[in-house]
Amino acid sequence: MGRPVTGPGRHHTTHRIDIAAPADVVYGLIADAAAWPLRFTPSIHVERLPLGGAAERLRIWALANGEVTNWTSHRELDARRRRITFRQERSSPPVASMGGEWIVEQDGSGTRLTFDHDFDVVDDDPAGLAWVNRAVDGNSKAELANLKQLAEAGDREAAGLEFSFEDSVLVKGSADTVYEFLYRAKRWPDRLPHVRHAEVGEDVENIQSLRMETSAKDGSVHTTESIRICFPDTRRIVYKQTVTPPLMAAHTGEWTVHEPAGESGGGVLVTSRHTVLVNEANIGRVLGEGATAEKARKVIRDALGGNSMATLTLAKAFAEADHA
């Protein structure tokens, strides 16, 4: 449920939802901001910096009205009262300033969750206000629905539905060359046999949209869409698939290029990391009746890991040929 706002000045919205799960479970999901990209549909990437005590700073990239936007927020967490307040330290136009609060209340055996926002828009522009209202309303409803589904489903990691893994190679070549290979995904169809087609958009520097067709070992072709956030200074690329294969409910990943400890001048370590939420409802449809979460994990691990190792191996060959 949401309450829209209109008119100039300071604006307020309230969204609420009832969740059939303990309040501590719901609070824990909200407090764990680093996991939001896997759990919240609009979230792309979150970087968390603890500030001491119950305070933290979050740098957040998220979809708003179909656009990627980012901001930095300061959060105060009160686990005893199950309240989390936030205030943006740096906002993205048309938002001039924004803050709010998560309020988690035990309601019998369930939870009443309230999500409040207050904000200003740049120059009180009516078009900007309409844009922010749509973004806050759409994202708040999506996040509350995600929280309800997650909290009521129980511990997905314990059930084997959420897991992470990584693959690495040591490259005797330039870290910058490896990073450029990973960054220039538009050239992957010419460089990676499993990539049939790739479309890359980059309206904002270092924020890429990637639509890609890849071939699996069985000959099937899968189309995926991702948002990639690139950090050239630290040679990292993080991403979230916004369109996933049917066996995955969510998929986030990261490419890193760094000099390993004790290997000065001896090469760079290139790592591909994946975190996946299995789509439990599709296990039987995709893998056959009676298939388990364990089998789904293995199929996903083999597919994603196979493609990652193919990319890492060819990036290694590319960089070492360039370095020779």
The two counts, helices (H) then strands (E), for the chain are 7, 14
Q: Are residues 199 and 310 in the same domain?
A: yes
Mean pLDDT along residues 196-201: 96
19: domain range?
11-153
Q: List strand residue ranges (DSSP E) for 79-194, in order.
A: 83-90, 95-107, 110-121, 162-171
Q: Of 153, 184, 202, at which residue does a domain stop?
A: 153
Question: Which range is least confidently modeled, 4-13, 32-41, 202-211, 310-319?
Answer: 4-13
Domain boundary among 153, 171, 196: 153
Lateral strand order in the sheet of 55-64: 11-19, 110-121, 95-107, 83-90, 67-78, 55-64, 43-52
99-147 pLDDT, tens digit each: 999 999 999 989 999 999 999 999 999 999 999 999 999 999 999 999 9
Mean residue pLDDT of the chain comes to 92
Whole-structure pTM value: 0.91
> In this structure, are residues 296 and 277 in contact, taking their beta carbons and an 8 Å threshold?
no
- The CATH number of the domain holding residue 109 is 3.30.530.20
**Residues 248, 290 within the same domain:** yes
